[in-house]
Structure formats: C-alpha cells, structure tokens
Structure 1
Amino acid sequence: VKAVLAAGFALLVWVPTGPVTGTARADPGTGAVNPNPPFVGHTEWTQSGRLASLRVFPTPSGRLASREPNNPGAADEAWAEVLAMAPNADTPGMHAQFICHWQFAELAQPGKTSWNLEPWRPVVDDAEMAASGCNPGGPEEPN
C-alpha cells in the first residue's frame, strides 16, 4: 500500500488481472455496474501481544465499490456496517484508517484478505495517513 500511495496521487488506474465478482447490478441503458451492500462480510478482533487489531473482511461487492472514486456514500455505508459488527471501533483514528484502506487497498493490494485497523495507531492528517500506507505509527503487523 505504501509504495502506491507514496508514488503520488497523479493518476490511479485499476486494471483487472482476473475475474471480478460481487453483488452488482447494471443500470439499464448505461452498462454501468453498481455494487450493492453488504460491503463488509464480517469483522474479527485479534491480538498481537498487547496490541489489538480489527480485521475487516470486505465482500466482493465491497471491493468493487471501493474502486469507485466518486462514490463516497458507499464508504459511509461500509463504515456503518463495520460499526454494526464492531461498535467499539468507533474512533477517529480507526475511521481514518478504514477510509484510507477503502480508497487505496484494492489498488495497491487487490484481494488482500482483510483490511486491518488498529485502535493504538495515532490520529494523523490525510497526507500522513497516505504516506504511511494507512498504517501510521509503525508497521502493519507489529513484532
């Protein structure tokens, strides 16, 4: 994620390398595909030493929706789904990490099993969030 984000935001183009599946429907007459909720299949809290991490498992439809840059409503819907499954994730830092993953994970690491959000990470501005590869304050998986 970090390499793609650090390369600058000049132009990000998604080119599928395999079949794209998901719950989606085509708008009649336009050929446009609109992914439908649910965007998150499930969440799972894990522990690495004393540090907690929330693993967010996007659905195929969620992955497809996250690739659409002009659809902020889908990101809001997906975050609401996360909070319905893990209410204690409702912190500014975790929300910012989720939005960063929503915007960039499928571009940088398509098909990554989960998007990991950590409550112990610092709250940073958007530029630092992007520069850190959505993982401010240290590596993705601490040792």
Structure 2
Amino acid sequence: MNILLWSLQALLALHTTMGAVWKWSHSATETMPSLGAIPNGAWISLSGLELLLCICLVLPAFRKSLANLAPVAALCIAGEMLLFTIIHLLSSPQDLSSVFYWMTVLAVCIFIAYGRFYLKPIRIEDAVERVQV
C-alpha cells in the first residue's frame, strides 16, 4: 500500500506541477470558457499555491516529521478540483466532460489523504530498513 500511495503522490505532484505551469501561460478563459469567472490574479495565485502543494506532496520522503503535509496537500488539491467543478457546473451545466476529469483527480486526492491518515501512514524508516536488508 505504501508503494501505491507514494506512486500516486508522485503522479499527483507531476500533474499539479503541469497544471501550475499551464496557469502561467494560459488564462482561465483560454483554458476553459466556464472558468472565466476566476479573476486572472486568482488564477496566477492558484499556480503558486499548486507549486507549494506539489512540494508538500513529496517533502515527507525527505523529512519524516513533515508526514502530515502530504494528505493535507492532497485535500487542498481536491478542494481546488471541487471548486473548478462547481464553477463549471454553474456556468455550463450541460458540458460534463471536464467534470469527469476533475472528479477523477479529486478521487485520487481523497484516496491519498485517506491512505496517509488511516490505511498506511508514512513511515520512512520502514522503507529505509527494507532497502538496507
């Protein structure tokens, strides 16, 4: 379970990093017309927040004391996906293609948070012991 959670965290970090870079080069309206309700300043701020959350997803691999950052970061990304879904549904409720994408990312985020809080908390020393054996 730990390997699966770390793999999902790494993939989510890459996904979110790409989204942050995308936000720097494309406005919300260019990305999706329904997201045009998000002001440009907030859109750019989301980019900075996403980069911070990416760091929080992988930081526990290097510092055991920061283990709670990963599930909290995953929940923040889930909140962002929920925000995008709500804004999109309020402006164009007939188009659900993007909603399925955002809900998939949200489900992965919730699984990571649940896994890290309850199923398999991060224990870096366990991974180090397995490598040394």
**Greater Cα radius of gyration, structure 1 or 2:** 2
- Richer in strand (by share): 1
Asked if these proteins are the same fold (TM beyond 0.5), I'd say no
Bigger helix share: 2
> What TM-score results when the alignment is normalised by the length of structure 1?
0.28
TM-score by length of 2: 0.29
